[in-house]
Amino acid sequence: MKLHFIVDGGEFTSAGGASSKLKKTLRQLGIAPEIIRKVSIAMYEAEINMVIHANGGEVSIEITPQKIYILLEDNGPGIDDVELAMQIGYSTASRQAREMGFGAGMGLPNIKKNSDHLKITSVLGEGTKVEISVMLG
């Protein structure tokens, strides 16, 4: 099964919509609750990062009997130092995002914690590609 979503940048009111739809789909497919929790957290964090930092982007999801694969691609500013961005508490979120309760610097660490495979490819001025895999079973 394949799913595709467009994420709007800066739209905090609709942020999390794609991850909610994915969660509903996984429930309908009868995926184990602990897998749904991991996927939902990883997807939500990645989606929120697109809203806050990248002016949105696209999400492609493939669900197979073996795994759930999520690809998030944006045309944002890119991540200057991925290793630094992976550190708990590190954030480049705007004051506006922080005032709304986002930007605590837990997004990428939470994605890593809740995925079986995480690959981040980023080019300054061009954008970022985040690949997340969660194994089924």
Indicate the domain borders of the chain: 2-135
pLDDT, position 129: 98
Contact 53, 97 (CB under 8 A): no
How far is Cα 125 from Cα 120, in angstroms, rounded to an integer?
Answer: 15
What is the full per-residue pLDDT of the chain (137 aa) written as tens digits?
999 999 998 888 888 999 999 999 999 999 999 999 999 999 999 999 999 999 899 999 999 999 999 999 999 999 999 999 999 988 888 888 888 888 888 899 999 999 999 999 999 999 999 999 999 97
CATH superfamily of 2-135: Histidine kinase-like ATPase, C-terminal domain (3.30.565.10)
Measuring CA to CA, which residue among 130, 134, 119, 129 is closest to residue 40? Answer: 134
pLDDT, position 102: 83
What pTM does this model have? Answer: 0.93
Which tokens belong to 116? 């079986």
